[in-house]
Structure formats: C-alpha cells, structure tokens
C-alpha cells in the first residue's frame, strides 16, 4: 500500500513537473548563467579537427547527424517524378522592368501529385540572374497586391464569417514591406517564394496534410522521423530544383533567406543542401541562430511547448537541459561554411536573444577559418544599424521583429560583395 502511494506521488509529481509552465523569460543580462559551448572542431573521439579535408569528410557529416538526431530530424532529397508547370509568364510587370513567373512544382508524377506554388520576379536584364529564395508566411498573394497572383489554398480568416474572397482580398499585398521587390529588381536580383503551408500547415496537426504524410512512401521517412522545419526546408530544396531548370536563373548563386521560424528553416535547408550559395537568417532566434545555452528570451522549453511540431520528439528531452545537447546553434551556422552567411537581429526582438544570435555567429568563425576565411571578426556586439563581419556578417537594427527595407539593403550589399563572381 505504502509503495502504491509512493509511486502515485512520484507519478503525480513528474506529471506536474513535465507540464509545468516554463519559468518567465529572462531579459536580464546579469542573470545569464555561465555555459560552455561544444566545440564544432572536436571530433566524436575527442580529436581536434585542423583541416578542411577532415572537416568535410568526417566532422561536418557528424555535426549534421547530431542536428538530425537531436533537433530537426531527417530530410530527404529530390523525389522521383518531380516536375514543374509554368502557369504564368508576364513580361509587363513593374512597369516592364521585371518578368513574373508562376510555377507549380509537383512532388511526384501526374497532375494530382502534392504540389507547391512558386512566385518568381526576375529583372529583365542581366540574365542569368541571382535569386533570393525564401518561404513566406501568408501566401504568394500577400507579397504583391496583384490579382493575377494565384492565392494560396490556405487562407487566414480574421473571423469564421469571412468568405474566401474576402480573406484573399484582405491578404493581397499585406506582406509587401517584407519583400521590397522594386528595390531587389532595381539592384539586379530576383526572388522565388512559396507559401510554407504548401509543405506543411503550421500547427500541431499540420503534418497530417503536409508532405510528411502525402510524400511518406515516396520519401521513405516516417512522419515522426522529421519535423515541420524539416518539411519546410525540404521544400526550399525543391524550389532550387526548379531554379536549376530555368535558364534565366544562375542557380549556382541562389541565396536562401528566411525570417523567424522561416529563418530557422533557411538555416536547416542551407546546412543540408550545399547548392545554396549564401544563407540569410533574419531574426531567427531560438532553434535558429540564437545559442540555446543562453537563458535569455525564448528557451527550448518555450518553443517545444508552443510549437511541438517544429522539431522532433528528441528535442523535448533538452527542454530544461540545453547543456546536454551535443550541439549548440553556432554549430548549425558552422555547417554553412565556407558559404557567406548573414545573421540579423532587431533591437526590440529580445525574445529572439540578439546577443545570443551575435555570439552564435561569432562562434561559427573557427570553421570558416579552416577555409582561410574571416568570419565575424569583431569581439563586441556592434552598435545598432552598424553591420560588421566578413564572410559571416551581422547586424542589429533598430525596431521590432520583422524584415525591413533596411535589412534587405544590407543583404543586397552583402550579395553584391560575395556572390558577384561565381
Ligand atoms: C514566435 C516563436 C519564435 C519565432 C516567431 C516567428 O512565437 O516563439 O521562435 O519563430 O514565433 O516565427 O514569428
């Protein structure tokens, strides 16, 4: 009897603890506890990695496998039967300065296959052009207010009474400030974007409708073996598959870009798919660029509680023990090497831990150094609106969690500097 009550007590306690609310977020720098980062240049056997050869052959695959097993899960390659249908080519957009293409990517053979709609804007001159590829939050029709843009089949409705038409009209162009197309086209670059819901709707049950279910047999990955971030990342690689088929595009120079959860996604996609020439993480925060071991802003427990589908189940075992993770996010950034990497924070986005993003970028530099590249070669966090660094670049801008024209202007300048002669 005694032991029964004891075990009941233990069960109740552990149940209560496992569902306990995360402690309030820490925003006090003086309360950040000391931590030690795992060294991405120490092998499984404890040996120091000194050469690019050792890094590429053994250590890089090892670090990638640690993220696969502990954080984001598996990811697959290009499926058999993948094909494209160009549904629109309009050469008159942006006063004739750009070409708009709309393309449906079918993930397997036939017109009924699961698919994703991609919206492209390309400058008319300077082909083949470099493209910024990134997923968007609210549908392609939210990028530019033009009725010719096919609306997403996933519509956000402000209230249940809203008709589809009203929802589409309300969303049209609503994300235009995050995709300053005139500026991008004016500087000679293009964009390719798709709604991330086309890959997996962003909620706990979204996997039932997304590619983790619809492509399960074709990709040979069980739904629980990968994550929503994995599914979205996989979709970015499928956009690259299309870009490689389009002769107007220099697909060897594709720049991945993502904001927030889609910034986490861009990093994971860039780590897995080395066809991407540059990666931009905009305000990606916890599970993105920010160090998990720093108890500042969002924590692993917070993110796993609000968004259990973003990562694999194993990641939950680190909820209260980031120090047990065999990696930290600087190791993810290291996987982008030797490709140029831009990490950006926003001053008011304390939830994403700007200093943790900076320190992560800084601690990725030793892997860039193997390639004789200077990474983030400063010791102190820069002042706001003062980009720093070389092959790894960093800025913290004034303002909120967002993607702004200021951010894009820095990315365009970085692209001009590092991508031009590829
Ligand atoms: C927040 C989440 C962050 C970030 C953000 C976003 O609620 O806690 O990790 O990803 O959403 O994607 O906008």
Per-residue model confidence as pLDDT tens digits over 119-141:
999 999 989 999 999 999 999 99
Write b or e for each residue in 378-416: b if 16 or more Cβ atoms lie within 10 A of its Cβ, otherwise e.
eeebeeeeebbbbbbbbbbbeeebbbbebbbebbbebbe
Model confidence at 254, pLDDT cuts 50, 70, 90, reads very high
Dig out the tokens for 36 from the structure.
């030690």
Q: For residue range 167-225, what is the model confidence (pLDDT) as tens digits? A: 999 999 999 999 999 999 999 999 999 999 999 999 999 999 999 999 999 999 999 99
Spacing, Cα 243 to ligand 1 middle (Å): 28
Among left, alpha and beta (phi > 0; psi -120 to 50; other), residue 265 is alpha
pLDDT at 15 over 50: no
pLDDT at position 22 is 72
Spacing, Cα 260 to ligand 1 middle (Å): 6
Spacing, Cα 228 to ligand 1 middle (Å): 14
- Active site (catalytic) residues: 260, 401
Spacing, Cα 2 to ligand 1 middle (Å): 46
Spacing, Cα 261 to ligand 1 middle (Å): 6
Spacing, Cα 70 to ligand 1 middle (Å): 20
Q: Is the CB of 285 under 6 A from ligand 1?
A: yes
pLDDT at position 21 is 67
Q: Is the CB of 349 under 6 A from ligand 1?
A: no
Report phi then psi at 129, rounded to 5: -100, 155
Residue nearest (by alpha carbon) to ligand 1 atom 8: 303
CA–CA distance, 348 with 358 (Å, rounded to integer):
15
CA dist list (Å): 37 to 179, 324, 331, 357: 35, 11, 9, 14
Spacing, Cα 352 to ligand 1 middle (Å): 8
Is 208 in contact with 249 (CB distance < 8 Å)? no
pLDDT at position 420 is 65
**Alpha-carbon Rg of the chain, whole angstroms?**
22
Model confidence at 20, pLDDT cuts 50, 70, 90, reads low
Q: Kindly provide the residue ranges of all beta strands, DSSP E only, lying in 173-227, ordered along the sequence.
A: 190-195
**DSSP SS3 for 81:** coil
Q: Is the CB of 286 under 6 A from ligand 1?
A: yes
Write b or e for each residue in 45-71: b if 16 or more Cβ atoms lie within 10 A of its Cβ, otherwise e.
eeeebeeeebbeeebbeebbebbbebb
pLDDT at position 234 is 98
Spacing, Cα 202 to ligand 1 middle (Å): 11
pLDDT at position 161 is 95
Q: What is the pTM of this model?
A: 0.95
pLDDT at 5 over 90: no
Residue nearest (by alpha carbon) to ligand 1 atom 13: 260
Residue nearest (by alpha carbon) to ligand 1 atom 10: 261
**Closest ligand 1 atom to 264 CA:** 10
Residue nearest (by alpha carbon) to ligand 1 atom 12: 261
Q: Is the CB of 298 under 6 A from ligand 1?
A: yes
In the chain, what percentage of residues exceed pLDDT 70? 94
Q: For residue range 29-73, what is the model confidence (pLDDT) as tens digits? A: 999 999 999 999 999 999 999 999 999 999 999 999 999 999 999
**DSSP SS3 for 9:** helix
CA 240 vs. chain centroid, Å, equals 15
pLDDT at 100 over 80: yes
Return the higher-pLDDT residue of 291 and 20.
291
pLDDT at position 255 is 98
Dig out the tokens for 410 from the structure.
């820095």
Q: Is the CB of 303 under 6 A from ligand 1?
A: yes
Please compute the mean of the pLDDT values over residues 320-342 and round it to a whole number. Answer: 98
pLDDT at 8 over 60: no
CA–CA distance, 364 with 168 (Å, rounded to integer):
42
Dig out the tokens for 123 from the structure.
């400058």
CA 48 vs. chain centroid, Å, equals 29
Q: For residue range 349-394, what is the model confidence (pLDDT) as tens digits? A: 999 999 999 999 999 999 999 999 999 999 999 999 999 999 999 9
Q: Is the CB of 353 under 6 A from ligand 1?
A: no
What domains, with CATH codes, occur in the chain?
65-418 (3.40.50.1820)
Q: For a pocket test of ligand 1, which of 137, 287, 307, 329 has the largest count of ligand atoms closer than 8 A to its C-beta? A: 307
CA dist list (Å): 19 to 226, 246, 262, 316, 320: 24, 50, 27, 12, 12
Return the higher-pLDDT residue of 5 and 57.
57
Q: Is the CB of 261 under 6 A from ligand 1?
A: yes
Is 66 in contact with 310 (CB distance < 8 Å)? no
**Closest ligand 1 atom to 259 CA:** 12
**Closest ligand 1 atom to 306 CA:** 8
CA–CA distance, 210 with 385 (Å, rounded to integer):
39
* Closest residue by Cα to residue 147 from 122, 173, 167, 123: 173
**How confident is the prediction for the chain on average, in pLDDT?**
95
**Closest ligand 1 atom to 286 CA:** 9
pLDDT at 267 over 60: yes
Q: Is the CB of 229 under 6 A from ligand 1?
A: no
pLDDT at 25 over 50: yes
pLDDT at 18 over 60: no
**Closest ligand 1 atom to 303 CA:** 8
Q: Is the CB of 328 under 6 A from ligand 1?
A: no
pLDDT at position 23 is 82
228-245 helix and 261-272 helix, angle to the nearest 10 degrees: 60
**Closest ligand 1 atom to 262 CA:** 12
């Amino acid at each position: 009897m005694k032991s029964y009550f004891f075990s009941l007590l233990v069960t109740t306690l552990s149940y209560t603890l496992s569902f306990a609310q995360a402690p309030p977020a820490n925003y006090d720098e003086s309360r950040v506890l000391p931590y030690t980062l795992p060294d991405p240049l120490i092998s499984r056997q404890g040996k120091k990695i000194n050469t690019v050869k050792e890094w590429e052959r053994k250590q890089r695959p090892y670090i990638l496998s640690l993220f696969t097993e502990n954080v984001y899960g598996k990811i697959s390659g290009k499926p058999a039967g993948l094909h494209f249908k160009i549904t629109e080519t309009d050469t008159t957009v942006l006063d004739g300065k750009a070409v708009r293409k709309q393309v449906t990517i079918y993930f397997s053979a036939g017109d009924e296959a699961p698919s994703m709609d991609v919206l492209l804007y390309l400058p008319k001159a300077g082909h083949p052009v470099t493209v910024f590829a990134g997923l968007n939050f609210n549908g392609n029709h939210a990028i530019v207010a033009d009725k010719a843009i096919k609306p997403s089949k996933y519509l956000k409705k402000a209230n249940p009474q809203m008709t589809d038409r009203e929802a589409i009209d309300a969303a049209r162009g609503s994300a235009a400030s995050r995709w300053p197309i005139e500026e991008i086209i004016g500087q000679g670059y293009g964009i390719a974007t798709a709604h991330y819901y086309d890959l997996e709707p962003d909620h706990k049950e979204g996997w039932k409708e997304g590619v983790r279910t619809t492509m399960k047999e074709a990709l040979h990955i069980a739904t629980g073996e990968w994550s929503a971030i994995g599914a979205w990342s996989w979709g970015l690689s499928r956009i690259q598959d299309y870009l490689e088929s389009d002769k107007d595009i220099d697909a060897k120079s594709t720049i991945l870009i993502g904001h927030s959860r889609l910034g986490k996604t861009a990093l994971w996609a860039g780590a897995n798919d080395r066809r991407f020439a540059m990666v931009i993480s905009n305000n990606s925060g916890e599970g993105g660029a920010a160090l998990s071991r720093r108890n500042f802003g969002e924590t692993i427990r917070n993110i796993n509680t609000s968004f259990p589908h973003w990562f694999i189940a194993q990641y939950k075992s680190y909820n209260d023990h980031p120090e047990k993770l065999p990696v930290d996010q600087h190791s993810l950034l290291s996987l982008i090497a030797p490709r140029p990497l831009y990490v950006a924070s926003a001053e008011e986005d304390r939830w994403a831990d700007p200093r943790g993003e900076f320190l992560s970028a800084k601690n990725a530099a030793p892997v860039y150094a193997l390639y004789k590249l200077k990474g983030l070669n400063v010791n102190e966090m820069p002042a706001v609106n003062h980009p720093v660094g070389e092959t790894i670049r960093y800025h913290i801008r004034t303002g909120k969690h967002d993607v702004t024209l200021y951010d894009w202007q820095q990315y365009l300048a970085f692209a001009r500097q590092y991508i031009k002669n590829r």
